[in-house]
């Protein structure tokens, strides 16, 4: 059964590999036997650090700078990966940004900034990966949505909108490419300790409130997103497409955190 989850000989590109969930996924893919892991990040030095860690353990890897909001760069970089390795079997895209503000305080520039990365960036990646993979007749794409695709809170309007949009992109691509050998899915993290959530971690009251909301009474770690992601990349998910795996510690299952007497 372990062969079902193997990534042996596959070429996997991880965008956002320089930190957080992307870093954990890149290291996990290498550990699961991927033949070549391409570490992509807007900060090339950060990606290079992860590449060096993979190489130190005997894996094959390369670091490349990439801004997913740059249409031409996404196309040229992914095409270059295929030119260098001969294939692209799996692609994971994790980057997102957030501007936490009430709707009435949001500026047009802030709206554009979040949408440019979270929606247009993911669309650029999905479109290019789809072009490459459908031509070959196989491949798996994993985008990162969030629990915010279903539930939200004050200050999360545009971020939540984009995360719901990513899920709809995934569903549409899956239906368009299902007969062409390409699967498209999403992972929906809950509250995870990453650079994106550092603002919350640095505020003890805020941090503790999120931990208490979770049935597990704690935050998730980046490493805990590796399993769901690699499952979706692997042959174990050969009949899984157009869906999302919420890895949220039960966040979406709980309606409040009061435990009635006697329970």
Q: Which residues are known catalytic residues?
A: 159
First to last CA, the chain: 39
> 68: burial class by Cβ within 10 Å (0-12, 13-18, 19+)?
buried
Q: Three-class SS of residue 34?
A: strand
Decide: 60 and 8 in contact? Cβ < 8 Å. no
Distance CA 31, CA 189 (A): 22
CA of 165: how far to CAs of 148, 149, 150, 197, in Å?
A: 11, 8, 11, 21
Side-chain half-sphere exposure of 51, counting CA atoms within 13 A: 23
Max Cα-Cα span within the chain: 63
Distance CA 183, CA 204 (A): 40
Distance CA 214, CA 151 (A): 14
Q: How many C-beta atoms lie closer than 10 Å to residue 198's C-beta? A: 11
Distance CA 132, CA 150 (A): 31
* DSSP strand pairing (61-65 vs 90-93): unpaired
Q: What are phi and psi of 147, to 5 degrees?
A: -60, -20
């Amino acid at each position: 059964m372990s062969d079902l989850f193997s990534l042996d000989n596959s070429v996997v590109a991880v965008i956002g590999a320089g930190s957080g969930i992307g870093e954990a996924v890149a290291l996990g893919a290498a550990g699961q036997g991927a033949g070549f892991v391409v570490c992509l990040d807007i900060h090339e030095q950060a990606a290079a650090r992860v590449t060096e860690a993979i190489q130190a353990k005997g894996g094959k890897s390369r670091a490349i700078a990439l801004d997913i909001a740059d249409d031409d760069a996404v196309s040229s970089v992914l095409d270059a990966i295929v030119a260098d390795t001969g294939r692209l079997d799996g692609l994971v895209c994790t980057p997102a940004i957030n501007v936490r503000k009430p709707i009435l305080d949001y500026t047009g520039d802030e709206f554009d900034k979040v949408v440019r990365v979270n929606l247009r960036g993911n669309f650029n990646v999905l479109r290019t990966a789809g072009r490459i993979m459908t031509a070959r007749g196989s491949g798996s794409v994993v985008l990162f949505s969030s629990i915010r695709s279903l539930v939200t809170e004050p200050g999360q309007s545009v971020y939540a909108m984009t995360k719901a949009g990513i899920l709809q992109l995934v569903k549409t691509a899956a239906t368009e490419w299902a007969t062409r050998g390409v699967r498209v899915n999403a992972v929906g993290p809950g509250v995870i300790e990453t650079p994106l959530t550092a603002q919350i971690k640095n505020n003890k009251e805020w941090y503790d409130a999120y931990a208490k909301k979770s049935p597990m009474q704690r935050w998730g770690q980046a490493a805990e997103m590796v399993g769901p992601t690699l499952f979706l990349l692997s042959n174990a998910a050969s009949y899984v497409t157009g869906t999302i795996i919420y890895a949220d510690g039960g966040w979406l299952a709980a309606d409040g955190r009061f435990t009635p007497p006697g329970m």
